[in-house]
Amino acid sequence: MEQVQFDFIFPELVELPNSNILTSDNWLWILHANKIPPHIGVSCKGLYFSLKAKGKDMNVPVNKVLKLLNDKNITSYFLRLKVEWKMEEINKIYQLFDKATGQKTSCLSPIKMLPEMNGDAQQLVDLLNFLQENQLYDRVYGIYLQKGEQGILHYSPSAIEKRISLLHASRR
**153 domain residue, yes or no:** yes
Other beta carbons within 10 angstroms of residue 167's beta carbon come to: 15
**58 domain residue, yes or no:** yes
**99 domain residue, yes or no:** yes
Tell me the mean pLDDT in the region 67-85: 96
Round the average pLDDT of the chain to a whole number and report it.
89
What per-residue confidence (pLDDT) applies to 116?
92
User: What is the count of structural domains for the chain?
Assistant: 1
Burial (Cβ within 10 Å: 0-12, 13-18, ≥19) of residue 113: middle
**1 domain residue, yes or no:** no
pLDDT above 50 for 1: no
pLDDT above 90 for 130: yes
What per-residue confidence (pLDDT) applies to 119?
81
Alpha-carbon span 165 to 140, nearest angstrom: 30
Alpha-carbon span 33 to 76, nearest angstrom: 5
The residue with greater pLDDT, 102 or 116, is 116
Where residue 168 falls among pLDDT bands split at 50, 70, 90? low
- CA-nearest of 123, 109, 133, 130 to 159 is 123
Interior CA angle at 47 toward 42 and 50, to 5°?
A: 40
Lowest-confidence region among 12-21, 48-57, 140-149, 156-165: 156-165
The proportion of the chain whose per-residue pLDDT surpasses 70, expressed as a percent, equals 87
**50 domain residue, yes or no:** yes
**139 domain residue, yes or no:** yes
**163 domain residue, yes or no:** yes
Q: Which range of residues forms the domain containing residue 34?
A: 6-170
**38 domain residue, yes or no:** yes
102-114 pLDDT tens trace? 768 999 999 999 9
26-75 pLDDT tens trace? 999 999 998 888 999 999 999 999 999 899 999 999 999 999 999 999 99
pLDDT above 70 for 94: yes
What per-residue confidence (pLDDT) applies to 4?
63
What per-residue confidence (pLDDT) applies to 159?
63
